[in-house]
Amino acid sequence: MLQEQFDIAKASYDRLMFAPYLFEGLFQRDGHDLAWQIRPLRTLLVAYEATGEVKYLIRAQGYVEAILANRSDKWGMIDAGFGAVVPGWYSIWASGGRTVPPQTYVNDTGHITGALLKFAYLVKSVSDLYATRKSIVNRCIKSSAEALDLWDEHFIVGPADGEAHIGAHHQPDYPMPINVMAALARAYLFLSLATGSIPHRDRATRLARFTIRRMKRVDDHLEWNYSPSERVNHEQYTADKNPVPTPIEDTTHMVVTMEFLIECWRAGIKLVTDEIMAGLAKTYTNCLDVDGNGDDRFSHDVDGSGLATGIKPLQASRIAWFHPKLNERLRELDVPKEADRLDRDSHLMATASKPIKFV
């Protein structure tokens, strides 16, 4: 059954991924759009991990070149947040779809540099490929490290022993939302894997510990809030600046935190235990097809409440490694959008080639 799953998923993935039109629309300057258009790049990295076929890393280089070419400082743009030209990827979008002056954000920085650094790490692991691509790997590492350095003063050790968090843009005394910190933490992790940097591995470990300590076990699964603080973020204050209670995490943002913890587990960060992975798998399962109609709808929140639009949580479907029934359910998903199909097929290849079955 797993071999059949692998063959079907790989054939479907290759048909899509090696169509030239997938490069269209990638070459634009808006960092927020780039942050989400890196999904094809990230699926290529998963496909390589599942198959060991270097054609996926070679294909990935085109996406990497596009992202590096679109860094904001390449054309001297003044970043509204920093008031200067900075080595990051700007966005003109903010929460609620609002248009804002071009500025760099933590979450976009984390998503983009995380993918670039994982590419660098994987290419370095293939000696023959690395021998011919040292330049692009070094550019990935240098560009990503410069972008991550922008947020150094926001990295705050504590509040508890062994923890750290990322201070919010407009509320330095408050941690950023869990998923935003997870995006940056994942980039720290891959910078450490690509370069051997112990300080960046320590940062990722501290952020993972902060995250895990703010999760709670409910029956057989884990739940957590969108933000660890009593306030969510500055635009969600009431008019008189009273604190707004932080809501429970939604499933769209859930996947970012899950992916970070999965990568920590794979990298041997021992505080992310098998028990935690099993709890996250149950969380994911509880959020899938919550109305029982077989229409693949996810719940809106990690506690299984509400209904989300679409199936964005496919981005974390590698969690199926840890739950056989979830793996079976993912194989049955009807996924109309190409980006979602790339996610599904690459992760089905991964779960079929390297199944990990515990709950």
Across 110-233, the runs of DSSP E, i.e. the strands, are 155-157, 164-166, 216-218, 221-223
The whole-number average pLDDT for the span 342-349 is 85
Q: Which residue, among 269, 266, 255, 248, has the nearest Cα to 200 in the 3D structure?
A: 269
Q: Which residues contact 56 (CB under 8 A, 6 or more apart)?
A: 17, 44, 45, 47, 48
Q: Which of 323, 259, 281, 257 is nearest to 42 (CA)?
A: 259
In terms of pLDDT, which residue wins out, 248 or 199?
Answer: 199
pLDDT digits (tens, 9 = 90+) for 9-47: 899 999 888 876 655 545 455 555 666 568 888 889 999
pLDDT (average), residues 180-207: 97
Q: Give pLDDT, residue 238.
A: 41
pLDDT for the residue 2: 78
- What average pLDDT does the chain have? 82
Q: In this structure, what token pair is assigned to residue 240? A: 């008189």
CA-based nearest residue to 173, from 224, 213, 233: 233
DSSP letter at 293?
S
Give tens-digit pLDDT for 129-148: 999 999 999 999 999 999 99
Q: In the structure, what pLDDT confidence band is assigned to residue 231 with cuts at 50, 70 and 90?
A: very low
Residues 249-289: pLDDT tens digits?
887 788 889 999 999 999 999 999 999 998 998 888 887 76
* Cα–Cα distance measured from residue 178 to residue 272, given in angstroms and rounded to the nearest whole number: 16
At 240, the pLDDT band (50, 70, 90 cuts) reads very low
- Helices (H) and strands (E) counted in the chain, each on its own, are 13, 6
What's residue 235's pLDDT?
A: 47
For residue 233, what pLDDT is reported? 44
325-356: string of b/e by CB count within 10 Å (b at 16+)? ebbebbbebebeeebbbbbbbbbbbbbbbeeb
Query: Please, which residues bridge with residue 190 across strands?
Result: none
Q: Give the residue-averaged pLDDT of 110-114.
A: 93
Q: Is the pLDDT of residue 319 over 60?
A: yes
Above pLDDT 90, what percent of the chain?
A: 38
Reported as type and span, the H/E element at residue 179 is: helix 178-195
Say how many C-beta atoms besides its own lie within 10 A of residue 70's C-beta: 20
SS3 call for 90: strand
- Whole-number pLDDT of residue 189: 98
Amino acid at 318: R
Highest mean pLDDT among 27-36, 41-50, 112-121, 214-223: 112-121
pLDDT recorded at residue 130: 97
pLDDT, residue 22, reads: 59
Looking at residue 31, its pLDDT comes to 55
The three-state secondary structure class of 164 is strand
Question: pLDDT band at residue 234, thresholds of 50, 70 and 90?
Answer: very low
Max mean pLDDT range (74-88, 122-136, 209-223, 338-352): 122-136
Residue carrying structure tokens 């997938």:
22
Q: State the pLDDT at residue 207.
A: 97
Beta strands in the chain (DSSP E): 90-93, 99-104, 155-157, 164-166, 216-218, 221-223
313-331 mean pLDDT: 69
**Which percentage of the chain shows pLDDT scores above 70?**
77
Burial of 357 (0-12, 13-18, 19+ CB in 10 A): exposed
Is the pTM value of this prediction over 0.85?
yes
Q: Which domains does the chain have, with CATH numbers?
A: 2-353 (1.50.10.20)
By mean pLDDT, which of 30-34, 58-62, 226-230, 277-281 is the weakest? 30-34
Distances from the Cα of 172 to the Cα of 153, 209, 289, angstroms: 10, 20, 39
What single DSSP character describes residue 177?
A: P
Q: Evaluate if residue 248 carries a pLDDT over 80.
A: yes
Q: Which amino acid is at 4?
A: E
